[in-house]
A and B are shown apart, each in its own frame.
Chain A
Amino acid sequence: MHFHKYEKIWLTFGMASLVLFLSIVGVSAFSQDHTPAGGMTTIDPKKVNETAPFDKPGVTQLDDDTYQVAIVALAFGYTAPELKVPAGKEIIFKLTSTDVVHSFTIDNTKVNMMVVPGRITTKSYTFDKPGKYLILCNEYCGAGHHMMFTEIEVY
């Protein structure tokens, strides 16, 4: 098998770029905790309303600098009373679904979480800027999918 000299240069350059990309995302993910939404906790999708933290959905302050937001997604909305969280504090979002797969996506942020029945999705995020943010579902969930949205207020 014979590689032209230029092809070797190109492939070396290409592979080096790929390694660079992987290193950037890998280091940022694992050493600075910028991992995508996820989590390994399971839940009975029929008992969501009796299971903590979803028995009392909404915002809870965990300590001085952390808040937890527990939300249940269902066709076609989110059970979340008033969503108001402070800017500059770590907000831990916890989501689950009582019916089909949805998403919980906050416009203009890194929060883009798939919500799967039987599972709890977790994502931690800190808002920089106060304001009202659009929350929407971007995973097809049925006839009302495009009407599944709400708002969060950051103060």
Chain B
Amino acid sequence: MIAAQDRKLALWNIGVAYIAFLIGTLCGLLQVFIRNDALQLPSWLDYYQILTAHGVLLALIYTAFFIFAFFITGMSKSIGSFGPKVRLFSWIGFAVTTAGTVLATIMIVSGEASVLYTFYAPLKASGWYYVALALYVVGTWITSFALVGHYIVWKKKNKGQLSPLFAFMTITTIALWIIAGLGVVATVLFQYIPWAFGMVDTINVELSRSLFWYFGHPLVYFWLLPAYMAWYVVVPKLLGAKVFSDSLARLSFVLFILFSIPVGFHHQLTEPGISNFWKFLQVCLTFMVIIPSLMTAFSMFATFEIAGRKKGGKGLFGWFTKLPWKDVRFTSIFIAMAFFIPGGAGGIINASFQLNEVVHNTLWIVGHFHITVGTPVAMTFMGLTFWMIPYLTGRKFTKSMQKLGFIQVITWAIGMLLMSTSQHILGLLGAPRRTAYSGYNNHPSALEWFDGILTNHVTMAIGGSILFLSAMILIYIVVMSMFISPKAVREEDFVEFPMAESDKENTPKWLENWWIWIGIAFVLIIIAYAIPLSGMIHHAPPGSEGFRTW
């Protein structure tokens, strides 16, 4: 077990994550019913307030707190207990991020910030909402730097050695997160806050959008990479195998630093202010970032096949039946991976330049991120939660909890399959996202959208309800393993952190030369962004005053 103080730190992070998850999924349930016109909200509450809360609490808060809990646990396990400074700064980071979260939630609940988690100007929320967002990012940076500090201490003690795979991947993800955050911090500090507090009258809208998406795309990789870490490092251990290839795992992570940032324009393909040349250049860079995911797909199947064959699996697919299906820690992550196949394929479509016109801002997009972050990432986190909380609390992961775990992941998978399939199809038919009620005065086209077997309101409602049920089972499991499950006493009752061995003998040293990777990343960012952004600044139209249209 890792040091008690590190465990406490991780547990607090998980605690906040699941409070956000609880409120966020409740919002999700409400959304499904409001969209169908099956639920009337009281006058003090509005659909877009709920939707803002859902996006912020699940996509920003749940993910980040869980990710840091995972990092803290894994870093302490792989490179040793935190020193006093690392610990102190991790707590400060936690406190600042939490303060941002609480402030943002207050602003949303009080109706001062119904601007959604993308907060596009010139919708103008209360200035405190933007302060909250800045606190959130800066808080995560503080924790990030604490972890980097911990890594540097290890590096100094182990000169010339490659770090353990888990630590390497943590630092990669953090590097990406810090570079990405620069964009959103810049726009929030220098554009939104002065404007929202009335220090300046107008805002450069297109610049703010571009800086947001400079952050917004790597944000999705900040969610995905920790899930990939579990796939690369935790899954092989559950199979009784080693990491398929240490060097390829590191290479794929390094490619994410390079290519996940200079690609934000793929979220702005149908808007003015960016010329087709720059849009297409970033489309090409976006396609580069698919390659490490192709590598990951191969590594995963290879790990499965090698492990399955060792256990006697014969023939082309015999190994498949030898996988540990009865182990919920594995099955959950396997389902997560399966969802990522259509999820990733959908992402390629979204990024395909003019094809984006078919899907942009339709319900397809909502379907898409529920089968990328909403299931592959979230369900991987669920699979980690099952053992990580007992590992941290020293409680048992009892048989009944394991059974519940199965029910939880299977219900989530069914609910998500219903909801996201329906959303994908509806989106292709043209139904828009982010709409409270979706009938358009019973316009014939709108009626047609909701006429299919999979696209009618009932399918969505059933899917959403099953999902919410699943979320509540998860909350129950979390509470049990945090506070109630019996303490482990016997050696074999203790839950382990499954961390697979990874052979580093053949891994080239240059893979861990951060200056190379961060250097190239900045060169690519400058190539992709310097000219279009400076154009937005130098040839800006008169700025926009703020509007409060809710």
Contact = CB atoms under 8 A, between A and B. Distances in A.
A112 B361 contact: yes
Most buried by A among B283, B357, B437: B357
Nearest 3 Cβ contacts at the A-B interface: A142-B549, A118-B541, A138-B432
Interface stretch (A37-45, A54-62, A63-71, A77-85): A37-45
B540 interface: yes
A3 B248 contact: yes
B92 interface: no
B405 to A, nearest CB: 33
Given A2-B245, A2-B247, A139-B361, A114 B271 contact: yes
Interface stretch (B8-16, B274-282, B396-404): B274-282
B110 to A, nearest CB: 15
Nearest to B441: A149
B445 interface: yes
A141 B114 CA distance: 10
Nearest to A24: B352
A2 B272 CA distance: 45
9 contacts: A11-B295, A15-B294, A25-B353, A40-B273, A116-B273, A120-B272, A140-B123, A145-B434, A145-B436
A100 interface: yes
A21 B205 contact: no
A73 interface: no
Given A45-B544, A100-B122, A112-B357, A18 B434 contact: no
B549 A100 contact: yes
Interface in B336-390: 348, 352-358, 360-362
Interface in B403-442: 430, 432-438, 440-441
B295 A141 contact: no
B126 interface: no
A42 B541 contact: yes
B508 interface: yes
Interface string A100-122: 11010101101111101111111
B273 A11 contact: no
B298 interface: yes
Contacts of A137: 432
A25 B435 contact: no
A14 B440 contact: no
Given A34-B354, A120-B272, A46 B542 contact: yes
A145 to B, nearest CB: 6
A1 B446 contact: no
Given A4-B298, A35-B354, A138-B360, 10 more contacts: A2-B245, A14-B290, A22-B283, A41-B272, A99-B547, A118-B541, A118-B543, A134-B443, A145-B434, A151-B443
Interface string B249-272: 001000000000000000011111
A130 interface: no
A7 B361 contact: no
Interface residues of B, number: 71
A150 to B, nearest CB: 10
B153 to A, nearest CB: 28
B549 A22 contact: no
Interface residues of A, number: 67
Contact of A36 (B116, B354, B443, B541): B354
Contacts of A36: 269-270, 276, 279, 353-354, 356-357
Interface of A: 1-4, 6-7, 10-11, 14-15, 18, 21-22, 25-26, 28-30, 34-46, 75-76, 99-101, 103, 105, 107-108, 110-114, 116-122, 133-134, 136-146, 149, 151
Contact of A26 (B123, B280, B540): B280
A112 B550 contact: no
Given A100-B122, A145-B435, A145-B436, A118 B251 contact: no
A43 B446 contact: no
B8 to A, nearest CB: 40
Contacts of A114: 268, 270-272, 360
B506 interface: yes
Contacts of B320: none
A1 B549 contact: no
A142 B114 CA distance: 8
A111 B361 CA distance: 12
Given A36-B356, A108-B445, A134 B361 contact: no
Contact of A44 (B120, B245, B541, B550): B541
A145 B48 contact: yes
A34 B348 CA distance: 18
B122 A99 contact: yes
A61 to B, nearest CB: 24
Given A100-B123, A100-B547, A134-B443, A43 B541 contact: yes
Contacts of B355: 25
A38 B275 contact: yes
A34 B352 CA distance: 12
B276 A29 contact: yes
B76 to A, nearest CB: 29
Nearest to B430: A107
B272 A116 contact: yes
Nearest to A114: B271
B287 interface: yes
A15 B353 contact: no
A146 B353 contact: no
